Each structure stands twice: as C-alpha cells, then as structure tokens.
Amino acid sequence: MATNEEDNMGISTEPEYTVPLENNRVTAETGEITGTGGTSNADLLEEIQEMRAELIAATEEVKKNQKDTLQELESKIEDIKKVMSEKLQSIEALNSKMSSDIPQKSDNTTNGASEKKFKLKHVFENVSEFEENVKNISGKENHFNVNWYIMSRRLNGHLGCFIFCEPIAPSDKWSIRTKLEYKVVGSLQHAVIRTSEHCYQKSTGWGYAKFLEWEEVKKWYLLDGNLTVEAKVTIIETTGLGTKKIRTFDESQKDVSDVILVVGDTKFYVLKMFLASQSSVFKTLLFGDFKESEQSEVKLNGIDPEYFHYFLEVLYGESAIDEANVEDITLLADMYDAQTAIRRCEEFLLKESKKTLEKKLEIATLYNLENLKEKCKSEIEAVQNAVPKDCDHQATVVPKDSKVSKKNPLRKLLCF
C-alpha cells in the first residue's frame, strides 16, 4: 500500500495554474503577466520609459536649437540695424568733402544744407609798387564748378581784399550763399583775419575795401616785398549752377509716387520701392525699422537740393552727369550707397571728363573708385618713365593744370 509520503510525491497541493488574458498569461505563483513573446511587464515599462526619455531629450534639443537660431537671427538683425543706423547718421557728416589739400570725409554732423569748403592762397609780389586803384588778381581756381580768385588793390591809403567767383555753367538766375574768411599773413607772425557772409548772384567780387592801412601793410606784412593773402570759402547753398533738368519730381508726379523727400525747401515726389532697389540706405530708411518708414514725408538734412535733383535723375536712368555736377552726384551716390550711380559717375570720369589728372585722382581717392585710380596711376607712371627717377624732375613734366604739392595724391604716386 502506498504511504501518504509516496502519495504526496506525485500530487501538488497548490498546483500552478494560468488564466489566459488575450495574448498574455498570469502566473498565480508570481503574479507576473507574460506575453507570448516572453517580454515581462517590467521590461515593457522600462522600454517605454526609455522611449519617453529619448523623446523628451529630442524635444529639448529641438527647442534649444530653435532658441539658439532665434538668438543668432536677432543678433544679426541688431548688427544690421546698428550698421545702417550709423550709415544714416553719417550722411550729414559728408558735407565738407573737398579742400585745397587731399579731401577727407568729415565725421562731424552739420545742420542745414551741405557745406563745401576750400582754401585760396596767393602771394602778391612787389606790393610796395602797387599803383593806386589798380586790380591785382591771383590765378583762377576751379572749385565745385566755379572759378574763384583773390583780388587786392591799393586805394585811398588802404589795402583792399576781395574774393571773386565766376560760375562755369550758370543759368539765368543763380546764387551761391557763402561764408568767407580773409587773412593777410605778416612777416613776424602778424595776421589779420576778417569774416563775412555773402550771397553771390552775379560774377563779381566781395570783400573789404579798407582791409588794412597801407602804411601798416608796408611795415608789418611784407616779406621780401611780397604779401601773402589767404581765403577760406564755405559754400552753404547754390541754385541755378547746373545744367537743364531732364525729369521733374514736383507735385505733378504726386499720382505716381508714394513718398515725398524734403530737401531744404524743395519737395521730391518719388517711389519708395524704386529708390530702395537703387540704394541700400534708402531701402533701410524707407522699409526698415525706422520712424521714416511710416511717414509720407521724409526730411533729408545736409544736402543741396540742386544736386540731389541730378542724383535722382541718374537713379531714374537719365543721362544727367556732366562736368558741372559729377563731383556732387558722386558724393550723393556714395552717401546713399547707390552702386549703379557710383559706377556711372566713374565711367564718366574715365571716358568723358576733361578734369585735370589731379582732380580725377582726388575724386578716385575720396570715393574709392579703383578703376579711375588705376588709370590715373598708369598715366603718372607713363610720365615718370619718360624722365630719370628724380621726384623734382618728374613733377616738371606733369601737365600744367595738375599741381603737385607735398600733400596731394599726385606726389604720393610720383615719389616712389
């Protein structure tokens, strides 16, 4: 007879059993749910948590990249705004562009119309022998398309000093509003300076008939019998000095314009989109994050309306460049970063202009006109190669209308 111990060996008093739950089964002994693939619930939860962690990490990385990209874009936008703001603020600082020495762009802001400055200087010889009421005239110098010169004379016991102007291409009505400074330099550091303001409206002189007493001139201001007279001229505003205007920008263009540019007392009716396509400065000013982009009228300071008109004509494709206005148009094209206009001015100076070699080199140096600069350099080198390499000798073969001083760019290219 089998014993109880033997019976118990073949019978489990707490048998394992399974209950099917879809594709899983539950083990009564452990309580674990086992899938048909043999993956436990803990493994599934761990896998889900890993996937969730990866998704969160990927999302955070995307957010970080987006944030970095946005910050980079905002930084670039701020940099662009800063650069263009500086460009706009410097527009008025480019008014005084030329002088008797190498011209330099000014960094000072001025109010009102653009000011153009230059100097005149002349040494009058044998002054003690001046005859009564006889005009003694210096050589004429071309500045801003006007011939200027100094006149002195002896009259009624006094020395008179005058500054004359003769526009090259005046209209029937023209004017040049100026500030004038007269200076007589003495032998012992004596100097007399007088200033005045005058609006020239005809080819005449303006100055002082009794600048100094004649006896004082002979006693204190002659050096080897010669008298040095200097003059500083500041042109505040000009009218009627240019060529005939080709295109109108007045109120008759109101129906085909969307903004008014106010320059001095003159209004120019123009299209914002067209100006923006021609000038990066206009693009920023009229479409950028500036108050002017919301205005129907935009005031432009520090500009001569006469030459701004020719500048607009060039932007609109007209053949408005000539000897009388090429310098001023180049100035405005540089101020407003109008590359097409700059290129057309350089082409005129290269192919058509009759200006002196010195004047062309000054313009090329001031506005970085590389093609014009190279042409000037090659012409100077051609002259240089024709004589021995002696700077003084070379200077003698430069054309008579090209002055070579210690400061002008011709000397720099002549003296290697």
Evaluate whether 362 touches 102 at the Cβ level (below 8 Å).
yes
Q: Is 381's pLDDT higher than 70?
A: yes
Confidence of residue 289 (pLDDT cuts 50, 70, 90): confident
pLDDT at 284: 93
What's the length of the chain?
416
82-100 per-position pLDDT tens digit: 666 655 555 544 433 333 3
Q: What is d(CA 225, CA 361) in angstroms, rounded to the nearest whole number? A: 36
Directed axis angle between helix 370-384 and helix 357-367, to 10°? 140
Q: Provide mean pLDDT across the span 298-307.
A: 88
Q: At residue 253, does pLDDT exceed 50?
A: yes
Contact 383, 402 (CB under 8 A): no
Q: With contact defined as beta carbons under 8 Å apart, do 148 and 180 qualify?
A: no
Q: Which of 14-28, 64-78, 242-256 shows the lowest per-residue confidence on average (mean pLDDT)? A: 14-28
Can you list the positions of beta strands (E) in 296-338?
297-300
DSSP state of 223: B
- Residue 177 is inside which H or E element, if any? strand 175-185
**Sign, CA torsion 144/138/153/119:** positive
Residue 142 Cα distances to 39, 146, 275, angstroms: 98, 5, 32
The alpha helices in 115-237, defined as continuous H runs, are 214-216
Predicted pLDDT at 17: 43
* Residue pair 114/95 in contact by the 8 Å Cβ criterion: yes
- The reply to whether the predicted model has a pTM over 0.75 is no
**Nearest Cα residue to 210 out of 162, 159, 164:** 159
Q: pLDDT value at position 89? A: 54
Higher pLDDT, 281 or 99: 281
Sign of CA dihedral 169, 364, 109, 300: positive
Rounded to 5°, angle at Cα 233 from 229 and 238 = 150
CA 334 – CA 326 distance, rounded (Å): 12
CA distances from 11 to 4, 5, 389 (A): 11, 10, 126
Average pLDDT over residues 334-361: 94
The answer to whether residues 41 and 33 touch, using CB atoms and an 8 Å cutoff, is yes
Q: Is the pLDDT of residue 183 over 70?
A: yes
Report residue 399's pLDDT band, with 50, 70 and 90 as the boundaries: very low
- Calculate what percentage of the chain has a pLDDT beyond 90: 45
Element (H, E) at 117: strand 116-124
Query: Minimal CA–CA distance to 88: which of 271, 298, 317?
Result: 298
Contact 235, 115 (CB under 8 A): yes
Burial of 169 (0-12, 13-18, 19+ CB in 10 A): middle
In whole angstroms, give the CA distance from residue 147 to residue 169.
11
Tokens in use for 226? Answer: 């010669």
Contacts of 24 (CB under 8 A, 6+ apart): 33, 34, 35, 36
pLDDT > 60? residue 212 = yes
What average pLDDT does range 73-78 have in this prediction?
75
pLDDT value of position 84: 64
Where are the alpha helices (H) located in 166-325, listed in sequence order? 214-216, 272-278, 280-287, 305-315
Distance (Å, whole) CA 116 – CA 306: 14
Query: Going along 201-345, which residue ranges are E strands?
Result: 205-213, 227-239, 259-263, 266-270, 297-300
Task: Please report which confidence band the pLDDT of residue 404 belongs to, taking 50, 70 and 90 as the band edges.
Answer: very low
Q: Which residues are 227's β-sheet partners?
A: 124
Query: In this predicted model, what pLDDT tens digit does every residue of 312-338 receive, in sequence order?
Result: 999 999 989 998 889 999 999 999 999
